[in-house]
Structure 1
């Protein structure tokens, strides 16, 4: 008789645990071409919120990739479904930061998803976003120097 309540508790815990959906990810391939250097690190910042876009430390994922002598890099990453945007920089002098001039404009190469080329101000999330909704998504970015 005492086993029935215990068994019910275990069964309901198993059912409740199974009901919680896991975050489904999809493979995304990011290809960056026209690198300014075939040896300097490229840093890719992946954002999934408008509020955090281009704010230091507010990215969801960051990856640093060495070109290993090639003028192009390709990175595969699993991202949860939804809207994403990518910004990237190439650290030409390997000082682990993006150098800027006195106006705050980057002096090292940078780029954004959708190949947005801002002229006056940084782009917003909506300009750079792309949708991750299934496998096979490829994001091509041309680096601006």
Structure 2
């Protein structure tokens, strides 16, 4: 559409998005001047706003909150230990503890990622070790 083309009815009074315009060029999507604004609705303060998937302030001292934070800590610890040695053992432990922490509404992404890295690295190291052992056995049989 060329830049000089104007939609039909733009310069005449009519409707925009189903709302009647008062004068030429009035756009009902623009905010009204402050003098004509209505008072905002009052919200009941009986319940505080709660972000989704996060425990509210009253639950921070509960037993489940502490269990979730412990699972989160253990998943990170197992992930870091498995990063240096025995990743095939500590990786799945980190993943399982991260899942338990997430079930209790704690974000345990670091533990889960480290656990998967440990598990994959452990499996690959075992495969490399087996391939080296097979190559050494077939090479010494000559």
**Greater fraction of residues in strand:** 1
More helix by percentage = 2
* Structure-1-length-normalised TM-score: 0.22
Q: Could you state the TM-score of these two structures normalised by the residue count of structure 2? A: 0.23
